[in-house]
Structure 1
């Protein structure tokens, strides 16, 4: 069993238990159940290599019909363990989209083990809406987002609903659940 297989199992457990299980993304269930989510474990050790990986994955995803692959999650296992470094890298990733002319076609969703929203304390439960077992950059198709958002009632209330749900569960329970995801083994 490879390290990549173990990491992918941990990310899939997080998707099942957090993203879908807690309803953090009301649009995730269909692509997950339809096996339209690609998970890539990046071997990149520096920003240049990771940007190259992002470009390759964007090219690949762009060539796939959404019914085959709706989204790609790039798991960064060798770098960006520090949340501030990760946050700084997001600016480079967004610049890549602009430089390649994909701004408006794709966007990144960001997840990190130590994710912390501005104005929150590190242990605040609401930070778990974007916490994951590994640093992750998710490639999202903007046209798909627009389609599902147009048919979803009050999509602007999703973040507030998620924060309320995280606060009800509490930091301790959420930390335990995330730890279980980190311990998940391939099936």
Structure 2
């Protein structure tokens, strides 16, 4: 179930600061600023404590997002502060999450991007600074409209170079530069 308690406020604040300071501030996602400024991002905080509960919340959010105009809500950050703290478990969960798209007949309409406090790209060391491009304060599923991605890619010259530019940005600022952003990162399990 999507949470509405006091924890929600802190999780949203942490996530918005991360979005503003890291994602937009470092230009890690050139598409993020527009939807943020227009208030088209939905922050849905799941109170799930298990994979099955989070999967149910994911399916509810996909159905919701599919039912609203992108001019109202273009994208959703489904944030799960109380489960899947281990990145390997989170990564395995994504297989189930992607199957939800097919189950709901939303494959090709939405895609799910992954963000996690312990995010690690394949072939990198855990402490590799480039992993921080996808390190959010909490386990997060970013639900994106394929049509919005297509529009954004057409508007950005050299969109295919975004990944490499991000890697270079992270190497340039290093861990000290990342810490200077002053982001709160969840390092322990949150409970009710």
- TM-score normalised over the length of structure 2: 0.91
Following TM superposition, by how much is the alpha carbon of 1:122 offset from its aligned partner in structure 2, in angstroms? 1.1
Structure 1 match to 2:184 = 181
Structure 2 match to 1:24 = 28
Tell me the SS of whatever aligns to 2:42: strand
Deviations 1:82-135 (A, max 9, x none): 000000001000011112111100001110001010111111110011001101
Checking the alignment, whether the CA contact within 8 Å between 1:42 and 1:77 is kept in structure 2 is yes
1:150 aligns with 2:143: no
Unaligned runs of 5+ in 2: 187-192
Deviations 1:64-92 (A, max 9, x none): 11111110001111111000000000100
- TM-score normalised over the length of structure 1: 0.93
Q: 1:79 aligns with which of 80, 83, 101?
A: 83
Tell me the SS of whatever aligns to 2:114: strand
Structure 2 match to 1:168 = 172
Runs of 4+ in structure 1 displaced over 2 angstroms? Answer: 179-183
1:119 aligns with 2:123: yes
Structure 1 match to 2:143 = 139
Structure 1 match to 2:71 = 67
1:56 aligns with 2:60: yes
Structure 1 match to 2:189 = none
In structure 1, distance between residues paired with 2:91 and 2:180: 24
In structure 1, distance between residues paired with 2:102 and 2:183: 37
Query: RCO (CA 8 Å, sep 6+): is it higher in 1 or 2?
Result: 1
Checking the alignment, whether the CA contact within 8 Å between 2:120 and 2:131 is kept in structure 1 is yes
Checking the alignment, whether the CA contact within 8 Å between 1:123 and 1:171 is kept in structure 2 is no
Tell me the SS of whatever aligns to 2:44: strand
In structure 2, distance between residues paired with 1:173 and 1:62: 38
Structure 2 match to 1:3 = 7
Q: 2:114 aligns with which of 97, 105, 110?
A: 110
Following TM superposition, by how much is the alpha carbon of 1:171 offset from its aligned partner in structure 2, in angstroms? 2.0
In structure 1, distance between residues paired with 2:153 and 2:52: 34
